[in-house]
Amino acid sequence: MEAVHTQHGPEATPPNYYEDGHAGHDTGHDHAGHSHGEHHHGGAGHVHAMPDAGWLFAVGITLNGLYIAAEALWGLKTHSLALLADAGHNLSDVLGLVASWAAIILSRRAPSRTFTYGLKRATILSALGNATVLLLVTGAVLLASMERLFHPEGVAGTTVSLVALAGIAINGATALLFMKNSSGDLNIKSAFLHMASDAAMAAGVAVAGVAIAWTGWVVIDPIVSIIIGFLVIWGTWGLLSASLRLALDGVPLGIDPAAITKALQSMAGVEGVHHLHVWPMSTTQTALTAHLVTTPQASPALVHEASAMLQKRFGINHTTLQTEGALAAPPQPGGASCQPGQSCANGDCA
């Protein structure tokens, strides 16, 4: 007889609330062969998206929206196609911020009949989409820069530099807002990379503008753009790879299934581990299922201890552990649990 034990982390809301508002079964009671564990909080190595991340997105979107409007108006006034093109590029990044923010909001929706995990994976799709768009936009900039390299055009160095300096300040400040949490959440990281790439582009444009105003060599502009473009691609490729890995239910980076197996097998009462699976629920939450082969002497609290260990050491906050062996023996009349090979008579094992 087997038993399945499920333990949820603080953000893994049990799927007992549906679209019609009626509650499902109570996860606090036990079923034959099935029991739900307690909630665990915290967990080293696991970082949740900030609860107040919304204000960061609001500030970033507002600042960049104002900058784009000013840049577009200045481009129309000076008849500068370069400024208008840059405004369009910045607009794509603001839309990326909107997508990241929307994904965080969607990920907090309660589970339903259709989406029993909720919409947590929206953050993964947002990170993947942002990485893809950033690479496509950068590729377009590279193509335009290469064409400009062979067909140079006049550039108003001073005007371009002044506008670029404003871009450095706004995009740089926005990037700093997201930098603190970019290492723990791919969705936040995608927003950070969007703003950091814009700040880098603006810095390159400012340097090129000064150099052009000083030397008159307009070819400097496309050269700087090409260099920065390849740097952005290099920095974004890792985000694309990691987000695609999560979208395909790959094991999140930083988690080693072999190390998890070894840690579980080292626990008292565990003889073996098999059918171990680890996958992402979102860009900040990880789930695990595994079968534990237990000894007759295994502690009844083994599953609870194993789940707590997995959360503390590996940051896995949603675990479902299925035990096989003496620990999984069904309860007998009178409350006794007989060992393999024994029979129950009047509540006593023999």
Domains, the chain, in order of start with CATH, read: 2-45+252-349 (3.30.70.1350), 53-247 (1.20.1510.10)
pLDDT higher for 6 or 223? Answer: 223
The structure tokens 């055009």 sit at 153
Residue 91 pLDDT exceeds 70? yes
- Are the CB atoms for 68 and 39 separated by under 8 Å? no
- Looking at the DSSP assignment, which residues form a beta bridge with residue 154? none
What pLDDT shows up at residue 82?
63
- Are the CB atoms for 71 and 88 separated by under 8 Å? no
In sequence order, what are the residues at sequence separation of 6 or more whose Cβ sits closer than 8 angstroms to the Cβ of residue 301?
none
What pLDDT shows up at residue 8?
55
User: With b meaning 16 or more CB within 10 Å and e meaning fewer, what string describes 268-307?
Assistant: ebbeebeebebebbbbbbbbbbbbbbbeeebeeebbbebb
Residue 183 pLDDT exceeds 50? yes
| C-alpha–C-alpha distance, residues 334 and 85, integer Å | 78
Q: Each residue of 287-309: pLDDT tens digit?
A: 999 999 999 888 889 999 999 99
| C-alpha–C-alpha distance, residues 155 and 77, integer Å | 15
Residue 14's pLDDT band, with cuts at 50, 70 and 90, is very low
Q: Each residue of 190-221: pLDDT tens digit?
A: 888 888 888 887 888 788 878 888 888 878 87
- Are the CB atoms for 317 and 9 separated by under 8 Å? yes
Q: Write phi, then psi, for 59 (nearest 5 degrees).
A: -65, -45
Minimal CA–CA distance to 225: which of 63, 97, 85?
Answer: 85
| Beta strand pairing call for 286-294 and 318-324 | parallel
- Looking at the DSSP assignment, which residues form a beta bridge with residue 176? none
Minimal CA–CA distance to 163: which of 231, 82, 88?
Answer: 82
Most trustworthy range by pLDDT among 13-22, 132-141, 311-320: 311-320
pTM, full prediction: 0.70
**Angle, vertex CA 307, rays to CA 304 and CA 311, nearest 5:** 140
Identify residue 281 by its one-letter amino acid code: M
| C-alpha–C-alpha distance, residues 275 and 67, integer Å | 53
Q: Each residue of 269-283: pLDDT tens digit?
A: 999 999 999 999 998
